[in-house]
Amino acid sequence: MVLLLALLVLLTVISPYTTIIPAIYMTYMVFFKKMNIYKNHWNIGLCILFIWSIIVGIINHSLTSIVASFALFIYLCISVFLQNYCENEKKVENICRYLVYGSMFSAIFGIVEKIINVYYHFNIWAKFLKITSQPVFNDRIYSTFGNPNVAGNWFAIMILIGIYFCSTTSKTTKLFYEVATFLFVIALCLTGSRGAFMGLLFGIFIYYILKGNKKDRWIFITVFIFTALVAFIPSQTLKSVTGHNFDDSFISRLGIWRGCLKMIKLKPFTGWGLMGITEHGAGFMKGYYYATLYHGHNIWITIMTTLGAGGLFIYAYLKINLFQNLKILHVRNCRLVPMLAGIQAVVIGHGLVDFTMIAPQTGLLFIASSAIITALVKQGK
């Protein structure tokens, strides 16, 4: 099982396309291996969200939205699988270790990608991205994630996991995780994702508030200040370092948000379906519409546009119960709480300007962290 788990994690990390293999495997295990399906707030909420998304797809006569809804069903199966596997903190730590190992490959790959681009003016992914109608950023790395913002979100979360292991492992092992965390920081900088740095800022703050260790106070202050500087440094200064114009990026988001708000006004309760922004967004976002736009570059706006107030209510229900579970684990002195809460904070912070959960890898990572929180509460009972 250990080798199988390591393989599943590796397939998740190395490509958004190979992520489907672990997802199918976990879904198969839930269906045919008679795993326990626990009646908890997370599973119930995901199930209701899946049903609601199908209803919205039917209301909008959108076959693509109905089909896309089954991604939520797969996420539910992944949650059930992980709740059965994560019987204790040690098993959760094993998953996190495999994530660090696989992500080190992604970080090194991203650094090599940048070196090739700088010295040979060649973008590894350019031709493939043009085929798939995705925008090509020659100055930002994609690594193994297909999008700089998705890569940034992943590396921000890996930095938190690296910090966790740096504070819990022995001196000899600690050096390895320090090197890994340093690589993740470099890779995050090369993604040029200011949103990911904002998310990391949220995550680090929550991590050290819950950690409450005075010995790590100066490390926290240093990392926090560095992250804040990168997140809020003037755009022209940042452009001279990364070559990416962040003002243009933010202006395009304003146009997308305005377009989504127009869509919400027309269908406030049901929304337009999971694929509604792709199918109908062009007419509402003239001048600010990318070649392919699947979301509204904000968690709350995207959910309201696609699933309406009904979907937003269900999502809020899920988040509130996650926070309550984290509180329970914190009272029980679960040592994983700072890291798990920090991951949730990264998603919230980055979610102010993006919706990276739509990507297979970061979506699965968010679902996995949420399922683990639920599993640990159950095991404690």
Q: Which has the higher per-residue pLDDT, 121 or 330?
A: 330
- 66 confidence band (pLDDT: 50, 70, 90): very high
| Over residues 20-28, mean pLDDT | 95
Residue with tokens 């996190």: 96
Q: What is the mean pLDDT of residues 321-344?
A: 95
Mean pLDDT, range 63-72, rounded to an integer: 95
In this structure, of 50-64, 221-235, 352-366, the range with the lowest mean pLDDT score is 221-235
For 140-178, the pLDDT digits (tens) are 899 999 889 999 999 999 999 999 998 888 777 899 999
What's the confidence (pLDDT) of residue 242?
47
Pick the more confident residue, 119 or 66: 66
Q: How confident is the model at residue 241 (pLDDT cuts 50, 70, 90)?
A: very low
Residues 6+ apart with CB under 8 A from 157: 203, 343, 346, 365
Report which DSSP code applies to 37.
Answer: -
State yes or no: pLDDT of 256 exceeds 90.
no
**CA–CA dist 374, 39 (Å, integer):** 11
What's the pLDDT score for residue 182?
Answer: 94
What DSSP string runs through 165-208?
A: HHHHS-HHHHHHHHHHHHHHHHHHHHHT-HHHHHHHHHHHHHHH
CA distance to 30, 31, 49, 123, 367, per residue, from 73 (Å): 12, 12, 9, 36, 12
Tokens of 291: 């070649």
The more confidently predicted of residues 302 and 280 is: 302
Determine the pLDDT at residue 278.
Answer: 86
Q: Which domain holds residue 77?
A: 2-380
**Residue with the larger pLDDT of the pair 269 and 288:** 269
Better-predicted residue by pLDDT, 315 or 230: 315
User: What pLDDT band is residue 230 in, cutting at 50, 70 and 90?
Assistant: low
- DSSP 8-state class, residue 106: H
Instruction: Give the chain's domain count.
Output: 1
CA distance 288 to 197: 24
Burial class from Cβ neighbours inside 10 Å (0-12, 13-18, 19+) for residue 126 reads middle
- pLDDT mean across residues, the chain: 87
Give residues with Cβ within 8 angstroms of 296, minimum separation 6. Answer: 256, 257, 260, 277, 302, 305, 355
The answer to whether residue 215 scores a pLDDT higher than 70 is: no
Q: What is the pLDDT of residue 53?
A: 97
For the chain, give the percent of residues with pLDDT over 90: 61
Cα–Cα nearest to 270, from 322, 325, 313: 313
Read off the pLDDT band of 123 (50, 70, 90).
confident
- Average pLDDT value for residue range 84-103: 93
CA nearest to 295, candidates 278, 282, 310: 278
* Confidence bin at 87 (pLDDT 50/70/90): confident
The arithmetic mean of pLDDT across residues 107-127, rounded, is 86
| % of the chain beyond a pLDDT of 70 | 84
Confidence of residue 297 (pLDDT cuts 50, 70, 90): confident
Average pLDDT of the residues in 45-73:
96
Residue 131 in this model has a pLDDT that exceeds 70: no
The one-letter code for the residue type at 165 is: F
pTM: 0.90
* Cα 163 to chain centroid, rounded: 18
